[in-house]
Amino acid sequence: MDEQKTTYEFGPFHLDPAKHLLLRDGQPIPLTPKAFETLRMLVENSQQVVGKDEMMQAIWPDTSVEEGSLTRNIYLLRKTLGESPNDHRYIVTVPGRGYRFVASVREVPDESTDLEDHSAFHKAVSSAEKQPVQTGDGGPHPILRAEYLTSEIKHHKRGAVFVLATSVLAVVGITFGLYKFAGQHQSTTKLIAPFQTMKITRLTGNGKAIKAAISPDGKYVVYAIDDSEQESLWVRQVATNSTVQIVPPFKGGYFGVTFSPDSNYVYYTINENSSHLGVLYQAPVLGGVPRKLLLNINGPPTFSPDGKRFAFMRWSINPAEKSLMVANADGTEEQKLAVLKLPDYFSTMGPAWSPDGKIIACVAIRFNDGFHSDLVGVRVADGKEQLVKRFFDVGGRVQWLSDGSGLVVPAMEQASEPHQIWQVSYPGGEARRVTNDLNDYGGISLTADSSALVTLQSSRLSHIWVAPNGDANHATQITSGQDEGYSGLSWMPDGKIAYGSMASGNSDIWMMDADGRNQQQLTVNESIDEEPSLTPDGRSVVFVSNRTNGFGIWRMDTDGGNPKQLTISNIKYAGAPQCSPDMQWVVFVSWRSGLPTLWKVPIGGGDAVQLTDKFSLMPAISPDGKLIACFYGDQQNSQKGIAIIPFEGGQPTKLFNIPSAIEFNENGTSIRWMPDGHAVTYINTRNDISNIWRQPLDGSPPRRLTDFRAEEIFNFAWSPDGKQLAYAQGTQTTDVVLISNFK
């Protein structure tokens, strides 16, 4: 076909191959050149199966690439076209062959679309692949990211992001999304300006930022840095780029930061005693003696329009509930405005008081009818709650637009996508993307006039290594993808390895030989599939999936066939499955009782049995099947460590205190038994450097097994004979980004 004279229409889309332009309802949609070529090839061969090899040769004619590059393009296109995991209206996968474009396509004359004025946009898109590649990231799935978990374990920057790896340039990606948003919605909001006026500034470059906010007048940005097991607070003057530390490093954690309405003070909430009971401080914006204002506050406060009151979240253990509170600006005269009881809870990432003073917007985490996050408005007058918009997950603080017409929210609409920045109208709840890329955004802070925005952006790189006899000095890297092994790692009896990967553009389970060869994708749907654990006979994989409402425990054959859900509908939020040596049971973590506890379910599925009634995570079953090791704590935080409990459940028979810097990867098992059953091993991370330690069951002191001097370990597993150690290792970064000049 003559590319210069033919364009295509399908649904609300218009594809112009000659101009490398995709439109939706007349507005441009940014795509990288390779993704555009993938779509063009499918559309030009609509209703026909286009083979994977044929597509890879055509799209990357002079480059040797893995199949994962093509599957990532397909994943991006499906998101761009608005497909859902169970509704492929445009692109259908033909197993073992390739892909087919199934929507009705109409050829139209090129002159029907005169869009030469978008040339600047085309040039920007075309330059994307010429820039240095930066990966995007996410955190654990929302069950194991739950704020109940972070109250017991020293919070870490990966806890604020969704599991995702990508190769999209961060700053260019933000700009594309903002331009797309501006083109679609100039008539409904004043937030976004033309593409050419955008200014993107990365304010930090060490990858260790954890919280950030911009002052209402736009002159300052405050952010917290996590470094060397300590956290400090900094203020940057936007105009001069000068930076000053206003709170020195301390061994604690920041729950949130914000500014006073007059921009003269910084308010920050910290966990001084490594508990979930936060303390609110006020400090002059350029430093000075901080003043303690309030106890038992979770997250940052939000101020009323007149600055006389603020609202905040409070977590109560007895009764187990989270409350939206209102108090005077000096911390006096507290009032409980709204309450949610566990397992449902209000997010502590920060409420937002509306410009007219009538509504406080916040996020309610719900566990009915599948996990989801509701953006709600609570009336100040009577505490009545109104649903504004339902998302799958909200990844950070929300903010009102200055005119009160809506909110800006970092959220994901579906489980298989990263957190993007959205605008949600109020009270209508119409949601429109501000960004439209594969990066992950973790929190929003706006100036008073909505002319500038600060957000956190995260990335992760993870590879799998194999070390003979656990000797990391002779380890071999066996994968080269962006995010391999973070969401699970397990050995098969025959020496193969099952692992979680984002190579397909989605969270899937893969299998490979111990040397990294013969990689095979086992799950191919668009749900989240992760945390694989092999049965002792090597015939089945138990894993976590959200194929039905919530996250449940599933089993499948090692070729990916015969999937079966093991947990019934009343166990909707489960993780970290481990199969017993006799293959009769699967032990896992569930939030059914309102806090994470251990349960077990028959390998054939059915009713689950509760094993613990205290805070319990990351179970590991002993080689003889008689004991379970897990991370364990009580609600008063007086006892915590690695517990050994009977397989039948009950109270711990042994409890080993652990260093405060121990890391439990929320997407995998971070405790493993040694094959001889005489000790358990775990990951200990200090200064962003991880090593594996061994704790003997006889109570003797723990001993470090590895001597890494850089990078983190996200997951690890011993081979059944104990002769090989597989581990996922890499780096994680989170930085502050300022987006300005888009009013």
Q: Is residue 196 part of a domain?
A: yes
Same domain, 451 and 492: no
Q: Is the dihedral of CA 158, 133, 206, 462 positive or negative?
A: positive
Model pLDDT, residue 190 = 32
Average confidence (pLDDT) over 143-171: 29
Q: Provide the token pair at 233.
A: 């607070």
> Is residue 435 located within the same domain as residue 568?
no
List alpha helices for 2-101, DSSP H: 33-44, 52-59, 67-80
Lowest mean pLDDT among 211-225, 253-267, 318-332: 318-332
Higher pLDDT, 381 or 178: 381
8 Å CB contact between 728 and 464: yes
Most confidently modeled range among 23-37, 110-124, 420-434: 420-434
Q: Give the amino acid at 397.
A: R
Q: For residues 672, 665, 702 and 658, what is the CA-based torsion angle, rounded to 10 degrees?
A: -130
Residues 191 and 340 in one domain: yes
Is the pLDDT at 517 greater than 70? The verdict is yes
Domain assignment present for residue 578? The answer is yes
User: What whole-number distance in Å separates Cα of residue 223 and Cα of residue 205?
Assistant: 12
Residue of higher predicted confidence among 639 and 378: 378
Task: Quote the CA–CA distance of 194 and 133 in Å, as a whole number.
Answer: 25
User: Based on the structure, what is the number of domains in the chain?
Assistant: 3
List residues bridging with 280 in a β-sheet: 269, 294
pLDDT at 42 over 70: yes
Highest mean pLDDT, choosing among 11-25, 186-200, 348-362? 348-362
CATH of the domain at 80: 1.10.10.10
- pLDDT of 110: 55
- Reference 459, options 205, 692, 252; nearest CA is 205
pLDDT at 651: 92
Instruction: List the beta bridge partners of residue 615.
Output: 633
Q: Which amino acid is at 308?
A: K
- C-beta neighbour count of 4 within 10 angstroms: 9
Spatial distance between the Cα atoms of 607 and 592, rounded to a whole number of angstroms: 13
Better-predicted residue by pLDDT, 134 or 200 = 200
> What residue ranges in 160-242 does DSSP mark as E strands?
199-202, 209-214, 220-227, 230-237
Higher pLDDT, residue 408 or 733: 408
Any domain includes 454: yes
Task: Give the model's pLDDT for residue 569.
Answer: 65
Q: Are residues 441 and 475 both part of a single domain? A: no
Structural domain includes residue 440? yes
pLDDT, position 62: 66
Reply yes or no on whether the pLDDT at 105 is more than 50.
Answer: yes
Residue 33: pLDDT band (50, 70, 90) is confident
CA distances from 358 to 249, 353, 382, 404, 430 (A): 38, 8, 10, 10, 20
Q: What is the mean pLDDT of the chain?
A: 81
Q: Is 689 exposed, middle or buried (0-12, 13-18, 19+ CB in 10 A)?
A: middle
Q: Classify residue 157: in a domain, yes or no.
A: no
The pLDDT-based confidence of 309 (bands split at 50, 70, 90) is very high
With 80 as the cut, is the pLDDT of residue 446 above it? yes
Whether 640 is covered by a domain: the verdict is yes
Residue 729 lies in a domain: no
**Which tens digits make up the pLDDT trace of 281-298?**
999 998 889 999 999 998
Same domain, 454 and 480: no
- Sheet of 298-303: strands edge to edge? 298-303, 309-316, 321-328, 335-341
> Cα separation of 437 and 491, whole Å?
34
Residue 140: per-residue pLDDT: 32
Helix axes 67-80, 52-59, angle to 10 degrees: 90
Average of pLDDT values for 586-594? 84
pLDDT of residue 550: 75
Is residue 136 in some structural domain?
A: no
Banded model confidence at residue 200, pLDDT cuts 50, 70, 90 = confident
Lowest mean pLDDT among 30-39, 469-478, 488-497: 30-39
Nearest C-alpha neighbor of 370 from the set 150, 162, 596, 545: 545
The segment with the largest mean pLDDT, out of 17-31, 96-110, 681-695, is: 681-695
Does residue 477 sit in the same domain as residue 440? no
d(CA 660, CA 682): 13
**Does the pLDDT value for residue 304 go beyond 90?**
yes
Q: Which helix (H) or strand (E) segment is 281 a member of?
A: strand 279-284
Residue, of 417 and 155, whose pLDDT is higher: 417
What the block records as the tokens of 409 is: 């929210």
Among 152-156, 199-203, 213-217, which is the least confidently predicted range?
152-156
pLDDT number for residue 610: 94
With 90 as the cut, is the pLDDT of residue 247 above it? yes
Q: What is the pLDDT of residue 275?
A: 58
Once rounded to an integer, what is the mean pLDDT over residues 156-176?
Answer: 27
Q: How confident is the model at residue 506 (pLDDT cuts 50, 70, 90)?
A: confident
Q: Report pLDDT for 149.
A: 32
What's the distance, Cα to Cα, between the start and end of the chain in Å? 43
Residue 579 phi/psi, 5-degree rounding, is -90, 135
Quote the CA–CA distance of 275 and 702 in Å, as a whole number: 25
Tokens 């229409």 sit at which residue? 9
Asked if pLDDT for residue 148 goes beyond 80, the answer is: no
Read off the amino acid at residue 735: D
Residue 285: which of 247, 252, 328 has the closest Cα? Answer: 247
Whether residue 275 is found in the same domain as residue 414: yes
Structure token pair of residue 594: 């309102």
Same domain? 311 vs 216: yes
The helix (H) or strand (E) run that includes residue 434 is: none
Q: pTM for the complete prediction?
A: 0.69
* Lookup: tokens for 651: 């109270």
Query: Are 115 and 208 within one domain?
Result: no
Domain span at 642: 470-722
Q: What is the CATH number of the domain that holds 484?
A: 2.120.10.30
Residue 690 has a CB neighbour count (10 Å cut-off) of 26
Within 8 A by CB and 6+ apart from 119, the residues are none
| Spatial separation of the C-alpha atoms in residues 535 and 2, rounded to whole Å | 55
* Rounded Cα gap, residues 581 and 584, in angstroms: 8
Q: pLDDT tier at 76 (50, 70, 90 boundaries)?
A: confident
201 and 324 both lie in a single domain? yes
For residues 538 and 597, state if they share a domain.
Answer: yes
* pLDDT at residue number 201: 83
Q: Is residue 39 domain-shared with residue 104, that is, in the same domain?
A: yes
Identify the pLDDT of residue 86. 59
Distance, in Å, from the CA atom of 669 to the CA atom of 534, rounded to the nearest integer, reads: 13
Q: Of all residues in the chain, what percent carry a pLDDT higher than 90?
A: 49
Q: Give the per-residue pLDDT at 191.
A: 34
pLDDT value at 176 more than 60: no
Neighbours of 458 (CB within 10 A): 29
pLDDT at 75: 77
- Record the tokens describing residue 497, joined without a space: 């390895």
Least confident window among 180-184, 483-487, 600-604, 729-733: 180-184
Question: In which band, very low, low, confident or very high, does the pLDDT at 146 lie, cut at 50, 70 and 90?
Answer: very low
539: helix, coil or strand? coil
Look at residue 230 and tell me whether its pLDDT is greater than 70: yes
Q: Residue range 647-670: average pLDDT?
A: 72
Q: What are phi and psi of 306, to 5 degrees?
A: -85, 0
